[in-house]
């Protein structure tokens, strides 16, 4: 039976701290981070995240695409990416209102053996790759749990 070794969460609610956050195209941007205790090579690390975002309204059809990443140790490309997913939204011509889109991610991993016996920081980042501009409106939530077996 698994036991919970550690739990961490971070939530940035709408209109607080850095939200809303306009994204520059092609730039990986830090959203939030957490620390997790890695006590054994047999641990399982479980991550859940939700991110609320919105595309800019234009008169032309656009397809904004966001790439969300979970990185270990730092928020830049110099640090290992442990998970990645993308989400997009088609906004057709004549769209009068852009809804808030919520992207959810779930990831499970076995820790890197070099990190056993340490606290590891995990970073949730986003990169805008599609047409048009997008804004992270929130909430942004990152939850991590270390399970021991």
Residue 115 three-state SS: helix
Indicate the helix (H) or strand (E) that contains 70: strand 65-72
Which pLDDT tens digits describe the chain residue by residue (149 residues)?
A: 899 999 999 999 998 888 999 998 899 999 999 999 999 999 999 999 999 999 876 656 667 899 999 999 999 999 999 999 999 887 665 455 567 889 999 999 999 899 899 999 999 999 998 777 889 999 999 999 999 98
Domains and CATH numbers, the chain: 3-148 (2.60.120.760)
Please, are residues 68 and 85 in contact by the beta-carbon 8 Å criterion? yes
pLDDT at residue number 57: 66
Please, are residues 131 and 90 in contact by the beta-carbon 8 Å criterion? no
**Phi, psi at 115, each rounded to 5°:** -100, -5
pLDDT at residue number 99: 77
């Amino acid at each position: 039976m698994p036991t919970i070794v550690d739990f961490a969460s971070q939530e940035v609610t709408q209109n607080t701290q850095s939200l809303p956050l306009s994204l520059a195209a092609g730039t990986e941007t830090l959203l939030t981070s957490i620390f997790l205790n890695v006590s054994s090579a047999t641990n399982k690390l479980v991550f859940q995240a939700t991110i609320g975002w919105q595309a800019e309204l234009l008169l032309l059809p656009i397809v904004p695409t966001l790439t969300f990443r979970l990185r270990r140790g730092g928020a830049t490309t110099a640090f290992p990416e442990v998970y990645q997913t993308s989400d997009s939204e088609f906004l057709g011509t004549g769209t009068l209102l852009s809804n808030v889109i919520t992207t959810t991610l779930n990831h499970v991993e076995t820790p890197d053996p070099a990190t056993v016996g340490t606290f590891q920081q995990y970073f949730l980042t986003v990169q805008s790759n599609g047409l048009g501009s997008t804004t992270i409106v929130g909430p942004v939530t990152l939850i991590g749990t270390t399970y021991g077996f």
